Amino acid sequence: MTRRCAAFSLIELVIVIVIIGIIAAVAVPRMSHAAVNGKVATASANLQTIRKAVDFFTAEHHGRTPNQDESGTATNDAEPIIQRLTEGPGKDGVIGGPYLSEIPFKPFANANTLGAGKSFSSGAGSYAWVYDINTDVVWNDMPIPEELWTVPGARVLLSPSELLTYNAK
């Protein structure tokens, strides 16, 4: 009687390794896109949250925006804007609120900072978010890499100059 070894042949092992390699080659890029899509969705939702808070503040204060004090004097400083959005009623003529518990986190920047200014400079990168006091709109301060511009939801994160570039393509 001949005794037979219970083992895999070299060809069987090679075929299994090739199949695993093909599955990994298909799955890994999909997983990495899922992580980026998740960050885009989070950043987009957080940007909308800040914008809604500014809208609510403006509506409750009869057209006065968060960058204006009780007398209507505008400020370039972000700190009073943050206080008006995150603190409750009473301080600096704030009627309602708080409109935000804190400035939302931005996953691409790993930060939750807000800057303010008269002229928006795209991609300055000093803050996670920028409150443009000319337009009373909050924008993304960190430049979004062009390869992400086509990711669903990423368009809302584009700064004004990036959006112009995107639309021109």
Residues in the chain: 169
Asked if the structure places residue 119 within a domain, the reply is: yes
Examine residue 87 and state whether it is found in any structural domain, yes or no. Answer: no
Instruction: Confirm whether 116 is domain-assigned.
Output: yes
- 13 located within any domain: no
Identify whether 41 is part of a domain. Answer: no
Task: Give burial (CB, 10 Å; 0-12/13-18/19+) of 111.
Answer: middle
For the stretch 131-147, pLDDT in tens is 877 777 787 776 666 66
Q: Is residue 8 part of a domain?
A: no
Q: In total, how many domains does the chain have?
A: 1
State residue 123's pLDDT score: 47
Residue 70 falls inside a structural domain: no
Range of the domain at 111: 101-169
Instruction: Tell me the per-residue pLDDT of 15-61, one tens digit each, with 9 for 90 and over.
Output: 999 999 999 888 887 777 777 778 778 888 888 888 888 888 888 88
Look at residue 37 and tell me if it is in a domain. no
Percentage of the residues of the chain whose pLDDT score is greater than 90: 8
